[in-house]
Structures are given as structure tokens and as C-alpha cells.
Structure 1
Amino acid sequence: MSVPVVLLHAFPYSPAMWAGQLEAVKGHPVLSPDILGFESLESAAAHVLVEMDNLGWQKAVFVGLSMGGYVIFRLWNLEPERFAGMVLADTRATPDTPEAARSRLEQAERIRLEGMQFFPEATLKGHLGVTTHACRPELVARVRQAQLEADPSRVARSLEALAARPDSVPLLSSISVPALVLVGEEDTLTPPADARQMAAQIPDSRMLILPEAGHLSNLENPKAFNTALRGFLAELY
């Protein structure tokens, strides 16, 4: 059997964001757990492991984008023996700065009071790259709609979990499986410089910068993302 693949989505989206990657992982058993709304990233990671256990999976290649990458670090911290490899996309190992954490907590409070209506205006500029904003209005509209459809109480809980996440930098040198680091060239939230720094500390890693993509690189340049993912999986097995 081909190695299973676990797809871990970004905040505040759902597993539906991986629809464009299903072709790239064809032939592999796939799990796309919903990791939004947990009170800590450790809880989200524990949920992923339970879902794997329910399927009888011992190991998997974990693919995480943004918040999904943060959960990968918690999974590595909990049960590194479950990894056959990892893909860290548009994410970082460092914790929030005090300012960023404060901003998340303020957003969580506002969402509990007002719901999600204000959120796209506050975040879409950073979630998508300049090329997408300039040339792909349909994708901007789709991402805006995905945000508006997210459950406000779960989004608020995830914001608090993200604000409290630990520093994962000390884990990087212990990662003993092949790792692929992907980042959109226009990602301003977790920019290529951060990805380069992270990749430099993971022993068996390679890094690719995806053109004309921002923070949601799998949606913005699915062709480049899927080619990289397919190639990585083929190298592993």
C-alpha cells in the first residue's frame, strides 16, 4: 500500500481547501481532518492521531499549510515515529510576537461579539498574494466566502490557540524524516526568508519558492504546488 497522506488545512479555512490537491496525491490513502476550533494546537494534533488510529494508519506523510504546519510541529513533538515525511507550506516554527498574539486575542474577542463579517477585510490582503488580488478576482471571492462561512466560535478558539503556540524552533534539528518546505514568493505572513531559515535547520530538507503565490500557495498556484508535492511523494516511495 502507498504511504498515507494527511492534509492539514490553514486557518480559518476547512479541509475543503485541499480539493485541488487530491489529484496530486492520487494512489495514496488520504485523510483531511478538520483542525479548526481546538483550544490548543496540541489538542488538534491529538485529534489527528486519533483519526489516524481509527483508520489503522501507523505512519503518514503530513502536509500542513500555515496553521497546518504549526500542528505538524506539535505532532512531531508528540509522536515523531508516525512520520514518513513532512511538507511544511507557508508556515513558520517561531511563536507569535507579543504584538501578533495580542492582535489575535483582540480579533477573537471581536469575532465573539460581531461574527465573521469584518474578518475578510482585516485579513485577505495578507492571505493572498498581489498577483491573486490583481488577476484572480474569482479566487479572492472564493476565499472571502470560505472565511464568512467559518464557525465564529471555532475561529475564535483557534485564534487563542495560535496566539499561545509554543516555539517550535528547538524541534527543527531533531526532524529525522525528509521534509519539503514550500512558500509562495509573495507570502508576506510567513515570507520566503522565514522558510529559508526553517529549512536550513532541518537536516534532510529542500525548499521551493512558488511563483505568483501568496500565503495560500496551494490555491494560488496549484500547478506548482501539486508538482512539488507529487515529486516529493515519488521520491519517498
Structure 2
Amino acid sequence: MAIPVIFLHAFPYGPAMWEGQLEAVKEHPVLWPDILGYESLESAAASVLVQMDERGWDKAVLVGLSMGGYVIFRLWNLEPERFVGLVLADTRATPDTPEQKASRAQMALRIQQEGVGFLPEALSGHLGESTRTRNPALVEQVRQILLAADPDKTIASLKGLADRPDSLPLLPNISVPALVLVGEEDTLTPPADARQMAAQIPDSRMLILPEAGHLANLENPKAFNTALRGFLCELEGR
């Protein structure tokens, strides 16, 4: 059997954000769980392990973007032996700053008071400048996804994100191959964060994806999928 691949989505999106990657991994068993709505990232990670067990998967390649990357770190902390390799896309290993924690708390309060209608404007920085100026269809697609986000699950995940621990100490102990991907125009978890991770993970390789912001798999799926396929081929050749 080909190596299973598990896709972990960004906040506050859902598994459907990975639809553009399915063709790229069509020869692999795939799992793309919903990890929105957990008040701790450890709980989200534990739910992924349960779903792996239900499928009889001892190991898999984990692909995480933004919040999905944070959950990968919690999975590594819980059961590192379950990894064949990992892909960290548009994410970082550092915890929230006090200012970021406060911003998340403010967002949660606002959702409680008025719903999710303001999210497309509040999270407009998720998309890079190239996408915002040249790809109105994707801008609208992301807007619709955000407007459909479940308020209660979004609030719960904001708490989990704010409370997540520092994962930097884990990086030197990651003993499987890692691919670090980042959008060239990502201002939330910029290339500098990606370089910091890649420099500390022993067996890592890093790629900056052009004309993409924080949602690189949606903004430049061709480059993202090419990198992912190459990495999977490398792992299968070992």
C-alpha cells in the first residue's frame, strides 16, 4: 500500500480546502479530518490519531497548513513514531505573543456578539497581494468559506490557538524528513518563520512558493502540488 497522507487544514477553514490536492495524491490513501472546534490542539491531535487507528494506519505523511501545522507539532509530541514524513506549510513553531492572544480573544468575543460576517475583512491578510489583485474568483471562494464557518467551533479553536505551547524545542528532535513550504507573500507566517523551522529540523528541505500568501495550497496549487508529489516520491524511494 502507498503511504497514507493526512491533510490538516487551516483556521477557520475546513477539510474542503484540500480538494485541489487530491489529484496530486490520488495513488495514496487519504484522510482529511475536520480539526476545527477543539479548545486544545492536543485534543485535535488525539482525534487524528483515533482516525488513523480506525483505518489501521500505523504511519502516515502529515501535511498541515497554518493551524494544521500547529496540530502536527502536537502529534509529534504525542506519538512521533506514527510519522513517515511531514509537510509544514505556512505555519510556525513559536507560540502566540500576548498581543496575538489578545487579538484572538477579541475576535472570539466579536463572533459571540455578531456572528462571523466580519471574518472575510478581518482575515483578508490570509491571501497574498497577487491573489487579491488577480484572482477575484478565489477571493470570493475564500469569502464564502469564511461566512459559512461555524461560530461555536471557530470560537473554540481560537482558544486552542491562543493556548498552544512553544514547539521550537521539538524541532531538533524531528527525526523524519520534513518539507517546509511557504507563500512568498505570506505576511502572517512569513518566509523568515519557515527558514527558522527548516534550519532547526535535521532532515528538512524548504521551498518558497511564488504568487502565494498564507493559503499557498489554494493560491498556487500547481507549485504546492508539484512540491508535495516530489516529496512523496522521495519518501517512497527510501
Interval containing the TM-score (normalised by the shorter chain): over 0.9
Instruction: Kindly tell me the number of residue pairs found equivalent between the two proteins.
Output: 236
Q: What is aligned with 1:129?
A: 128
> How many Å apart are 1:26 and its aligned residue?
1.2
> How many Å apart are 1:154 and its aligned residue?
0.3
State the identity as a percent.
76
- Secondary structure at the aligned position of 1:24 is classed as helix
Q: What is aligned with 2:221?
A: 222
Q: What is aligned with 1:3?
A: 3
> How many Å apart are 1:113 and its aligned residue?
1.4
Q: What is aligned with 1:89?
A: 89
**Matched AA of 1:23:** E
> How many Å apart are 1:58 and its aligned residue?
0.4
Q: What is aligned with 2:60?
A: 60
The normalised TM-score by structure 1 is 0.99
In 2, Cα distance between the equivalents of 1:221 and 1:147?
19
**Matched AA of 2:194:** A
> How many Å apart are 1:109 and its aligned residue?
1.1
Q: Is 1:43 aligned to residue 46 of structure 2?
A: no
Q: Is 1:120 aligned to residue 114 of structure 2?
A: no
Q: What is aligned with 1:146?
A: 145
> How many Å apart are 1:116 and its aligned residue?
0.3
| Structure 2: tracts of 5 or more residues without a match | none
Q: Is contact 2:90–2:189 with CA below 8 Å preserved after alignment?
A: yes
Q: What is aligned with 1:157?
A: 156
In 2, Cα distance between the equivalents of 1:232 and 1:122?
34
The Cα offsets for residues 34-64 of structure 1, whole Å up to 9 and x where unpaired, read as 0000010000000000011000100000000
- Secondary structure at the aligned position of 2:213 is classed as coil
| Structure 1: tracts of 5 or more residues without a match | none
Q: Is 1:74 aligned to residue 78 of structure 2?
A: no
In 2, Cα distance between the equivalents of 1:46 and 1:109?
27
> How many Å apart are 1:221 and its aligned residue?
0.1
